[in-house]
Amino acid sequence: MKKLVMNAERALLYEVVTTGKPGLVSLTDTGSHPDMDIYTFINSSFALEPYFSQAELLGRQFSGTGWPDLFNQLRQAGIGAERVMLQATHGVNTHKGAIFALGLFVCASSYTKTHGGDCYQIIQAMTQGLLAHDLKSPLAGHTAGEQQFIKYQLGGARQAAEQGYGAVKQAVKFLETCQGSRQERILDTFMFLAGQVPDSTLVKRAGNPEVLVWLAAQVTQFFALGGSRSRKGQDFLMKLNATFKAHYYSLGGCADLLACTLFIALNEGKLA
């Protein structure tokens, strides 16, 4: 089962070193995140190893049917992981979204390794009713995700989990059939996700959901130019990155889902 934990770590590192993601930290750029760099992410990734080990253990040892109970145990572990992350990064939020999403995938995948089943369906069962539950809490409306649901009916990370991460499932298939180098395949998969996912980080920074329509058009144009394997596609991404930085746009949610996609692909041997 150590392989699951190792693949979670690899997925985080693969995501951050992939260069060309508009507005995000990579090997050569800090994107729209001047408070972070590649080393911040490396430190954060290694600091989360005990959390992923805990998530793996929770999934492996779970034998009941009270899936929300399993989620609540994982959530408590995630709260502790957030504190560890902030200590490792001197207060910078590098991986809060990944703690939630990738933690779910590690836990559910560990369960399936031992007991069988489908990890996407298990995540659905674990998080059923999560959005409604959290909106009823005294702090409802305080987080960006909750505010966006109230204003725009965008459910963010919670809704993605409740629906079983269909975008991740599609992205794994996309990555499997993608051509090119590992870097190109991962970058194209990221852009595929950017065209599919209503990224709450982007909406927050833009101040409106209309930015999602604009982004979808950018993704369509990128692939029409040949994607990351073409010179025109690469040039397009460089210009798009400049636009993101100028407007302080970020696709942090898509980065989290890319890490989940890479985790599943690594587990299934689809990312040699």
Domains and CATH numbers, the chain: 2-267 (1.10.4200.10)
218 in helix, strand or coil?
helix
Specify the pLDDT at position 143.
63
> SS3 breakdown of the chain: % helix, strand, coil, rounded to 5?
70, 0, 30
Give the pLDDT score at 153: 64
Q: For residues 168 and 215, what is the distance between their CA atoms, to the nearest angstrom?
A: 18
- Among left, alpha and beta (phi > 0; psi -120 to 50; other), residue 117 is left
* pTM metric for this prediction: 0.94
Structure tokens at 164: 């079983």
Q: How far apart are CA 28 and CA 19, in angstroms?
A: 7
Local confidence pLDDT in tens for the 272 residues of the chain: 699 999 999 999 999 999 999 999 999 999 999 999 999 999 999 999 999 999 999 999 998 779 999 999 999 999 999 999 999 999 999 999 999 999 999 999 999 999 999 999 999 999 999 887 777 665 555 566 667 766 756 667 888 999 999 999 999 999 999 999 999 999 999 999 999 999 999 999 999 999 999 999 999 999 999 999 999 999 999 999 999 999 999 999 999 999 999 999 999 999 97
Looking at residue 1, its pLDDT comes to: 66
pLDDT of residue 131: 81
Q: Contacts for 126-133 with beta carbons within 8 Å, 24 or more apart?
A: 126/67, 126/68, 126/70, 126/71, 126/74, 126/161, 127/68, 127/71, 127/158, 127/161, 127/162, 128/67, 128/68, 128/162, 129/68, 129/162, 130/71, 130/158, 130/161, 130/162, 131/155, 131/158, 131/159, 131/162
Give me the phi and psi of 111, to 5 degrees please. -60, -45
* Residue whose tokens read 């919670």: 158
Which residue carries 């305080």 as its tokens?
142
Burial of 84 (0-12, 13-18, 19+ CB in 10 A): middle
